[in-house]
Amino acid sequence: MNGPIPLIENGITFSPFYFYTYFIKRLADFYSGDSKDNDLQFALTFGDEADSLISKYYLDPIALPLVLSISAQLANYQRKPIKLLLSNNAGTNRLLEFLFRSDFFYLVGDNRNPNLPLGKKIFDFNSSYIGDFNNHLQRAEHKVRCYSLKDESVLAYKINHRSEEEQRDFLVEHFTFKVKEHFADLLFENQNTTELTNDFIEIFSELITNGVLHSQSEAFALMFSDKFKTKFSISDNGIGLYNSLTKKSDSSYYTKFEIFNALSQTFKLRVSANIKNSVLSIFETLYYSMLKDRQGLFDLLCNIVIHCKGYFRLHTEYAQIIVSSRMLNDLDILYRIRQQIVEVHNLLLFGQISEQDFSIQIVRLAEIGKTHFLKLANSIFDRFNEDTRFSSIRLYEVKFRGVHIEVEIPNSASHDNI
């Protein structure tokens, strides 16, 4: 494709689904095509000036962190900001205003004013297009955020001497305060989210911590709340799940890559080795987190899906898993096993059982957990064969580095139709 790549097309909502399915593909086409030696250029919107009066551009705000994340990677790759072409007309004005008020332009530009988000120099755009807005009211909390240890050097210094687990706890606490500062007003909006506020804050601060600690780079995040749902999206440029897993070590009840290896024998989908690796590493990560003595990703997932009745989508490199109440039965069984595992860990911690008893019990539980986990994974793969549209995994041809998580939680706790 020649010329700039459009981000948002007339009449098509730019959602995370659109992003993964079409947008990334378009980028890949650019780099594999003839024009790869030219500089990459984006156009915010696509359409004729003449049609501007009837143009409608839709953006699902939670797709913004994804755009930022991939653009940061590409800007880094070409060692200079990506050119972003803007236009300000009757059709795009509202969109530009939303982006402006969400601090998007400060974050992607070269802003050095410390009272506003620091510019990451991701895009190179002509700022004279930004303006002439109708002063629509926009929630002050609907902003794109960037979290990074680099920006907070004091924080990085404070956690330096701590072990990895302590670093994590420390950062979770730090981000609990941050999340509250940035998003709490959104959560206090209605009675139902107010009840879940502490859960939300905890979930989001854990996700942000995962993002910054693993990736050692920026994590982009946005929370958006409408009448029915509170959505949260976080995207980092880190090393991804597979590489994190290679750093883990074996223990009496966990052998590295055991789910990975077991699944790869029964994995029947005809896809490339890369895609297979991504899918299996997602399952391996969840299994590993299920066995740990600490609360982690698996508990987070259960909290979202079982307690908050929400949606959890996790994407890494070539694959995405979508966990929702559709998997509730299997998840419920795993959750109960998880609770037993935690209990055994606790008994050991408080000296109620001996090391030996602990080993016997935990190995037994891990075995049961593994069986159920494999069953769940295989049934997901089978269903993928049957119907790709309603599948719980989505596979992509193009690699998108890092880990990208979207969470959607209905505002009403008793709302079961999601």
Partner 1 sequence: MIISRIVKSDIVYYQLHAEQAVTATYIDEEGSGIFEEVLTLNTLERIVDDFKSFPGYNLILDCQNLKSCQNNLKKKIKDFKDIAKSVVLTNAQKEIVEKLDLAIFSNPNNVEDGERFLCFYVSDKDDFAITNTTLFDDAFKESLIRYSTSDGEDPIYHESSSVYLSNYINIKKMISLDKNLFIYAIYKLAIKINEHWFKELNIKKPTLICQNLNSSYVASILSGFLKLDVLILDKLGPINKLYSTLDNKIKENESYLVVSDVVCLGTEMKIAKNLITFLGGHYLGNVSIIRVETLLSETKKFNDTECVFTITRENNPTNFQILTALNLVPNE
Chain residues that interact with partner 1, rule: CB under 8 A: 165, 168-170, 172-173, 176-177, 180-181, 198, 201-202, 206, 294-295, 299, 342-343, 346-347, 349-350, 352
Question: Closer CB to partner 1, residue 164 or residue 387?
Answer: 164
CB of 116 to partner 1, least distance (A): 16
Tell me whether residue 70 or residue 171 sits nearer to partner 1 (CB atom). Answer: 171
Task: Please tell me whether residue 114 adopts helix, strand or coil conformation.
Answer: coil
User: Kind of pairing, strands 123-124 and 229-236?
Assistant: unpaired
Contact criterion met (CB below 8 Å) for 279 and 319: yes
Residue (178 or 309) nearer to partner 1, CB: 178
Of 77, 91, 88, nearest in space to 39 by CA: 77
Q: How far is the CB of 131 from partner 1 (least distance, A)?
A: 31
CA dihedral (9, 14, 19, 21) positive or negative: negative
* Complex with partner 1: residue 333 or 342, whichever CB lies closer: 342
Task: Give dist(CA 360, CA 337) in Å, integer.
Answer: 15
CB of 166: closest distance to partner 1 in angstroms? 9
DSSP 199: H
Q: Give min distance, CB of 312 to partner 1, in A.
A: 17
Minimum distance of partner 1 from residue 213's CB (angstroms): 14
* 129: DSSP letter: G
Cα gap 298→315, rounded to integer Å: 15
Pairing between strand 393-410 and 219-225? unpaired
Identity of the residue, 198 or 385, whose beta carbon is nearer to partner 1 in the bound complex:
198
Residue 8 beta carbon to partner 1: minimum distance, rounded to whole angstroms: 34
- The helix (H) or strand (E) run that includes residue 231 is strand 229-236
Q: Which amino acid is at 351?
A: G
State which residue, 2 or 350, has the beta carbon closest to partner 1: 350
CB of 347 to partner 1, least distance (A): 6
Interstrand relation of 82-85 and 123-124 (parallel, antiparallel or unpaired) = parallel
Minimum CB–partner distance for residue 207 and partner 1 (Å): 13
User: Checking DSSP bridges between strand 123-124 and strand 311-323, what pairing results, if any?
Assistant: unpaired
Residues in Cβ contact with 313 at an 8 Å cutoff, skipping those fewer than 6 apart: 16, 320, 321, 322, 323, 405, 406, 407
- Rounded CA-CA distance 330/320 in Å is 19
Task: Please tell me the distance from the alpha carbon of residue 362 to that of residue 240, in angstroms, as a whole number.
Answer: 28
Tell me the CA distances in angstroms from 145 to 39, 120, 141, 142, 323, one per residue in order: 27, 12, 10, 9, 25
Shortest distance (Å) from residue 199 CB to partner 1 = 8
7 vs 208 by CB, closer to partner 1: 208
Nearest to 252 by CA among 100, 338, 102, 358: 358
Whole-Å CA distances, 392 to 304, 311, 342, 384: 16, 11, 27, 7
Which C-beta is closer to partner 1: that of 99 or that of 146?
Answer: 146
DSSP annotation of 39 reads: P
By beta-carbon proximity to partner 1, the closer residue of 29 and 293 is 293
Q: How far is the CB of 177 from partner 1 (least distance, A)?
A: 4
Q: Which of 156/271 has CB closer to partner 1? A: 156
